[in-house]
Amino acid sequence: MASVKDDSFIIEFEKFYQGYSQMAAFNSLTEHGGGGQASVMTNMDVLAADYMTQGPGLSTLTNGDQDGAVDELINYILDKAVSDDKTYGIGPTKLFEISAASVANAGDFPRTITGATDGSSVALLKGKLYYFFNKSSNADIGQFDLSSTFDDNWGSTVPTGAAALQDAPHPVATKEDLMVFGNGRYVGTYTDATTTLAPSKLDFGNDAIVADVAFQGNQWIIAVNSGVSGTNKNSSNIFLWGADATSSILDDETGAGPQKIGFIYPIDGTIFVAYQDLTTTSGFKIGFVNGRKITALGYYAGALPTFAQKTMFRDTILFFAAGLTYSAGAMVESLPLQLSQIADGGYATGGAIAAPFGTPMVASTDGGSNHKLANFANYGVNCTWKSIVVPTLRGRERGYIDEIIVVTNALGAGASCALTVEYNQGVSSSTNTMTIATTGKTRHKFTPGIGDVEDFRVALDFSGGSTTNPVKIRKIIVLGNYRE
């Protein structure tokens, strides 16, 4: 990152694929990390090996807001296509039919679900759609034959073992003819071959909530939080259960300790976990199950995402937290795992995130009458990035920044990025304009002439840029010297 010769220094910022500094969630002025790591970022794409650039923008789907079909927050979107260019989502009171570019706003959709007050999840099993929702008291499962027939109280009236469900979140996963779902303190099952519903197949105790369920490696994976009232400490566990979902005995258990689990996500044999220590206000962690413990990979600020707020994008886990979209992982195995904030989420409150047609879509609301469902599209311009803080004190001597060189792609028309230097713990900032904007240029040279620098970081702002021609930052080189 840095080299020093006599009284001069050269600081290079590159390898931006490293994402956040591990300490960024705790200290926005952190000095910890490498030259490509960020102390702060907003909507930045750092997934490529050779550069970083503006994160994706958002484009609202046709009929995708309150003036069309989406007049409530979509809580969950089925993360797979049910048929060509068609999937389904659920809001507090309605079932939505969604394509890659639009939300159905005619015929049966959006469908108002009888008695629904808080839609929870949607699952596809043996050619039928099942939708889980809470009511003013208890909960139910609806069934749709993907043609024209809806049965909003199917779960409480039709299958063998029909019964109302708990008023709770209902994460759900399917395999062949089996559906396994969270039901408050219980795990429930539905077996299509025998049309049998068992809503309380496993009981984890009266202070437990099933946070998420998944299937991988011929086993069901169940995440359970216990003692989840308010900000009290939790005792959380991840359980493995036999593939036939018939035994009352669990196969294995991983303890998360006094944590709260948001979601689990199995990928290529590894179970990734989002979890939170409620004794800290610094956010949450992403980790993976390592034997009978969870190994942390990195830390995020923001609210703990739920089972409805995760998907895959460019071989990384994409998830919602506090109305923003984050990424964890690496595009190729040779790159280290990165943690980054890649795109906006729309309004401040995020709902579901999914990529059933390849391009991620995110649902959000402002908490009032405004709601929307939007796709990633082109590039955003509400994008910022700040490096880690670099100290430039040497005994009595302080730094003087002579020159900054920024290496980019050959810029297209309208591409623009403003560069500033924040120094002395962010109290001071460069006043001269350093704009990376010349069309066709790849090397941009500035002479800021900033003195009395005890520490500094480079800050980038893309708000004056283009949604179609991005600025791709390949390297930033800062040249300076020490002066008493």
Q: What letter represents residue 11's amino acid? A: I
Q: Which structure tokens are listed for 29? A: 């002025």
Beta bridge partner(s), residue 4: 9
- Give the per-residue pLDDT at 230: 52
Give the up-direction half-sphere exposure of residue 27: CA atoms within 13 A in the CB hemisphere.
12
Confidence at residue 247, expressed as pLDDT on a 0 to 100 scale: 87
DSSP states of 30-58: ---S-TT-EEEEESEE--SSS-BEEPPEE
pLDDT for position 172: 98
The pLDDT value recorded for residue 448 is 95
Burial class (CB in 10 A: 0-12, 13-18, 19+), 288: middle
- Token pair of 458, please? 């480079």
Name the DSSP class of 474: E
Whole-structure pTM value: 0.94
pLDDT of residue 296: 86
Per residue of the chain (484 residues), give pLDDT as tens.
666 557 899 999 999 999 999 899 889 999 999 989 999 999 999 999 899 999 999 999 999 999 999 999 999 999 999 999 999 999 999 999 999 999 999 999 999 999 999 999 999 999 999 999 999 999 999 999 999 999 999 999 999 999 999 999 999 999 999 999 999 999 999 999 999 999 999 999 989 999 999 999 899 999 999 875 555 556 788 999 999 999 888 877 776 667 899 999 998 888 999 998 766 655 888 988 888 888 888 888 778 999 999 999 999 999 988 789 999 988 888 888 899 999 999 999 999 999 999 999 999 999 999 999 999 999 999 999 999 999 999 999 999 999 999 999 999 999 999 999 999 999 999 988 899 999 999 999 999 999 999 999 999 999 999 999 999 999 999 999 999 8
Instruction: Check residue 282 and give its pLDDT.
Output: 58
* pLDDT number for residue 346: 94
- CA quadruple 130, 75, 184, 78: dihedral sign: positive
